[in-house]
Amino acid sequence: MVTKAENQELRLKKNIKKYFLQAQPMLENGVCPTKALFAASMDKWSMFCVFNLGYFKVLRFTELKNKIPGISARMLSVSLKKLEQNGIVARKVFAEVPPKVEYTLTPFGKGLAEKLADLGNWFLAHYPNKDS
């Protein structure tokens, strides 16, 4: 008889094995397929960008800046560029004076936002020191 804990362990091993089998060709060439994605999306400011764009759908630079307390214009610009380079955020420029720029999540970015929200909610529910 397989216990629940053993079943969870087997599922985890299966998921890890699946990841490495899919990533193996890239890993053999010295490229980690998730490293750049995690670096681009898991830092402090980028997660705020992804969550805000996931919630509000379309935001202009100043609107996004106003929704992220403590972020400087420079850090927001750096974060958005990094997210755009990794296919997470789309930037749309309108031919107006002054220039109008809108940011949205790409379909890939929307999927990532869902997974990051799931991970964040799991963490908040299971964090050992959440009451401290």
| pLDDT band, residue 36 (cuts 50/70/90) | confident
What global pTM score does this model have? 0.80
Tell me the C-alpha distance between 132 and 125, whole Å. 14
Burial of 75 (0-12, 13-18, 19+ CB in 10 A): middle
Q: Are strands 89-94 and 58-60 parallel, antiparallel or unpaired?
A: unpaired
pLDDT at 130: 62
| pLDDT band, residue 114 (cuts 50/70/90) | very high
pLDDT at 60: 97
Identify whether the C-beta of residue 94 lies closer than 8 Å to the C-beta of residue 100. yes
pLDDT at 101: 95
Residue 97 one-letter amino acid: V
pLDDT at 132: 56
**Res 17 pLDDT > 70:** yes
Class for the domain spanning 34-126: mainly alpha
Sign for the pseudo-dihedral over CA of 56, 59, 64, 66: negative
pLDDT at 131: 63
Domain ranges (residues) in the chain: 34-126
